Amino acid sequence: MTRKDLLDIESLSREEIELLLDQAGPFKDLFTRSVKKVPALKGKSVLTLFYEPSTRTLSSFEVAAKRLSADVTNFDVPHSSVVKGETIKDTIDTLQAMRTDYIIVRNKMPGLPQMIARETKACVVNAGDGAHAHPTQALLDGFTFREVFPELTGKKILIVGDILHSRVARSTSTLMRKLGVEVAWLGPGSLVPKHGPKEIERFTNYEEAMRWAPDCIYLLRVQMERQSVQYFPSLREYTKLYGVTPERFKRIADQGTYIMHPGPVNRGVELCDAVMDYDRSLINQQVENGIAARMAVLYWLKPDTPTS
């Protein structure tokens, strides 16, 4: 059971997801040892192609690849806001010439990793494409969630915020549902899509959502730049209606609800300071698990490139 590419969560079966989560476990155990490397990808080359700057995700992939003993190169791409098809095609040709084994790509254009995957023999890992997918984030979320709840079926996760533009919300919702977790969305009506899967409950009111009794609340980062198109009147109003304010935090803590967030956090917007020290906050764990989950992914994929 191997694949060339990891482009989204949709196309993975439950078995494949569970296999990846199972494999992430031993990789995480490795972190506590004095030698944190395994030779699994020795001699393989991993290339990161990030059209959107993201230090967190980029370093997480870099560390993961290095711990598998791969050679990592950052392909320097111009960080222009719109990258046209032409330049991408040139880049793909260049990558082919470089005979890389793995390409980790992040770009604003939904579907771009698919396009690259079709053109190259290397394994392509989607590290985020526009509002489409972020499969490794979903895997690390699933891994983190499963550490807390080994039996996932029937557990409930409430995802809060800008669902419409969030690849994290899409991929993590899909993964959780595939694992038997119930998913609900909460956010302003303008940011909670009407056309998502029917099995997902939609809330626009915090009270109602809390009565649904989620085991975990997953807070999305508020995209400040969205404000210019007025999806909601003001950040203040957003926080008032959908943020984890001190009052709401008290109730969350009383109910023993876990908190997750893909980072980086806008403190005082989606959550108040107190949440950061909450013993049921899984936010730091998510970062650490990101490396293990990404190691599992790289280890699992099999490039179509000739072994030299």
Partner 1 sequence: MASLLIQNARIACEENDDLTPADVLVENGTITQIGDQLQAPEGAKVIDASNKILMPAMFDTHIHMREPGQEAKETIKSGSEAAINGGVTGVVLMPNTSPAIDSAAMVRTIYDIAKRDARIPVYTSGCITKGREGKELAGIDGMLKLGVKMLTDDGDAVPDLLLLKHAMEYASEFDCFFASHCEVLELSGPRALNEGVVSHRLGIQGTPACSEEICMDRDIRLAHATGARLHIQHVSSKIGMETIRWWKQMGAKVTAEVSPHHLLFNEEDIGDYDTHYKMNPPLRTAEDNKALLEGLKEGVFDIIATDHAPHTPFEKSQDFVNAPNGITGLETSLISLFHYFVKTNEFGWGLIVNRYSAQPRRMMGLDPVPITEGGKADFLLFDPEGQTTFSSDYMQSLSKNTPFLDKTLDGSIDLVVLGDEVLLER
> Is 110 near partner 1 (CB under 8 A)?
yes
Among 24, 49, 65, 115, binds partner 1 (CB under 8 A): 115
> Is 54 near partner 1 (CB under 8 A)?
no
Among 81, 84, 97, 150, binds partner 1 (CB under 8 A): 84
> Is 146 near partner 1 (CB under 8 A)?
no
Please name which of 209, 216, 210 lies closest in space to residue 144, comparing C-alpha atoms.
216
| 64, 298 contact by CB (below 8 A) | yes
Is 56 flagged in the annotation as binding?
Answer: yes
Scan for tokens 């599992």, then name that residue: 296
- Please tell me the total number of residues recorded for the chain in this structure: 308
What is the Cβ-side half-sphere exposure of residue 300, based on CA atoms within 13 angstroms?
25
Distance (Å, whole) CA 7 – CA 9: 7
Among 58, 111, 235, 265, binds partner 1 (CB under 8 A): 111
Scan for tokens 């669902």, then name that residue: 163
Among 59, 71, 130, 305, binds partner 1 (CB under 8 A): 130
Is 43 flagged in the annotation as binding?
Answer: no
Is 167 flagged in the annotation as binding?
Answer: yes
* Nearer Cβ to partner 1 (106/170): 170
> Is 132 near partner 1 (CB under 8 A)?
yes
Is 23 flagged in the annotation as binding?
Answer: no
Is 137 flagged in the annotation as binding?
Answer: yes
Of residues 179-238, those binding partner 1 (CB under 8 A): 193, 195-196
Among the candidate windows 26-34, 95-103, 111-119, 287-295, which touches partner 1 by CB under 8 A?
111-119
| Reduced 3-state DSSP string for 11-60 | CCCHHHHHHHHHHHHHHHHHCCCCCCCCCCCCCCEEEEEECCCCHHHHHH
Among 32, 78, 86, 308, binds partner 1 (CB under 8 A): 86
Output the smallest distance, CB 175 to partner 1, in A: 14
Distance (Å, whole) CA 204 – CA 136: 28
| 124, 117 contact by CB (below 8 A) | yes
What is the Cβ-side half-sphere exposure of residue 123, based on CA atoms within 13 angstroms?
21
Instruction: Please report, as ranges, the residues that interact with partner 1 according to CB under 8 A.
Output: 10, 84-86, 88-89, 109-112, 114-115, 129-133, 167, 170, 193, 195-196
